[in-house]
Structure 1
């Protein structure tokens, strides 16, 4: 028993409480709150030194990825995933170089600013698109609608995804930023949430695509993190102890996600991304 106790990292009570909360948030973020994982980034950064927290969180995120893949294994937009991977790989390489040459505070500030800019641009583009395409609001039930439901009470249907050359440029930009931010601080969730939000994906497609995207990306990141010497015995033991909390969070998130209306889900994405960005700037 004493030999086993010697393997457990010697962390203070407050540190254990913080990393336990972070592990629950990781599980929830993987199955119900894309972008919310950056809250876990802030919590782990409070509990552990910056570089150690990045490695510890990466391993827990991979556990969360496995649960999300099981829950949403039939939901991804495969075409979107394939198109994103090249630019994401470039972002990971850039993030590795950046991570190796600057301090943790600079990393967090840079990512927080990027996220706030992306939020502002995405909201502006969505609002401009609605104004451009807005037409007269019908005053009566549309012909051929046997239910008699009015537009105000009908179930909202996500608008078609945008297309064209601008989308390809936007996709490349989001991919590079997503790879960069996920490599330097495991904070790519809000960036990619903004991209999937802009693509107007239904809730389950959004969650499934996000699950597959980060499962692939985090596996790619692992050798980069190991090469930087970030993964230690203490990190592995601590994460092993936190795995049950990730699974509990993922289970609760999966139950919640299938009951979230599309409109509420989109607002939740925006709010969580703003909170995540501000957390990175002030923590």
Structure 2
């Protein structure tokens, strides 16, 4: 077991709670967990530790919202996401941690701005050619950011918001999306040394907090108005993006 100070364990515990909540109630908040884990653990180790916790949370999210997923949307996103993940693997070989964080922060803020403009001047994600362009753009960015920093939550949240999904459809589609993508990332993460035995030991301590927070998130989602839900998603996305730019 890695030797960590009590305050480090406390912060990791908070991050684990955020992971559970982000999967079942407030998508976009997961970026806060990314920031916490990166502040406490070495950069690469933090990514691997967080990935395994996200997969645990994905299991509960899929179980809770499995009937609400929009599979047509997921199928349209799939090719672009695979391309984005592979680009992320290549990027990790050449970029240092600082460059990665700044790049993702810029991407997230750009995505927020574009999505808010689309919501102001259009009724949602359009059909036809525009929809395909949006799926390709968001899918590639989502695959890239999830591979390099587990930070695709805000990117895909903006896409699902633009699609005008109601709360349960949003959470169900996001649950299946990240469950599939995170499992797809595991072999690459092992190959480049991101997932380690010490990291797995840390996960074993934090998993109960993730599970408890996932159930709490389901309780909150059942009682959360659509307008509040959307505002929380956008707010957490902006906070996460700004953090990545300034750290």
Q: Identify whether the pair has TM-score above 0.5, normalized to the shorter chain.
A: yes
Cα displacement (A) at 1:161? 5.5
Question: What is the rounded CA distance, in whole Å, between the counterparts of 2:104 and 2:213 in structure 1?
Answer: 25
State which structure, 1 or 2, has the greater radius of gyration over its C-alpha atoms: 1
In the other structure, the counterpart of 1:281 is: 245
Q: Which runs of 5+ in 1 are unaligned?
A: 1-7, 131-159
Cα displacement (A) at 1:163? 1.2
User: 1:243 aligned to 199, 207, 229, which one?
Assistant: 207
Cα displacement (A) at 1:269? 1.3
| Runs of 4 or more consecutive aligned structure 1 residues displaced over 4 Å after TM superposition | none
Cα displacement (A) at 1:93? 0.2
Q: Which runs of 5+ in 2 are unaligned?
A: none
In the other structure, the counterpart of 1:226 is: 190
Question: What is the rounded CA distance, in whole Å, between the counterparts of 1:61 and 1:223 in structure 2?
Answer: 15
Q: How many residues align?
A: 247
Q: Deviations over 1:108-155 (max 9, x none)?
A: 11011101011111111111226xxxxxxxxxxxxxxxxxxxxxxxxx
User: 1:165 aligned to 129, 134, 145, which one?
Assistant: 129
What's the Cα RMSD here?
Answer: 1.1
In the other structure, the counterpart of 1:76 is: 69
| 1:122-133 → structure 2 map (5 Å cutoff) | 122-129=115-122
Question: Going by fraction, where is helix more abundant, 1 or 2?
Answer: 2
Question: What is the rounded CA distance, in whole Å, between the counterparts of 2:4 and 2:46 in structure 1?
Answer: 13
In the other structure, the counterpart of 2:38 is: 45
Question: What is the rounded CA distance, in whole Å, between the counterparts of 2:230 and 2:128 in structure 1?
Answer: 23
Question: What is the rounded CA distance, in whole Å, between the counterparts of 2:170 and 2:219 in structure 1?
Answer: 16
Question: What is the rounded CA distance, in whole Å, between the counterparts of 1:105 and 1:186 in structure 2?
Answer: 15
In the other structure, the counterpart of 2:97 is: 104
- 1:54 lines up with 2:47 in the alignment: yes
In the other structure, the counterpart of 1:198 is: 162
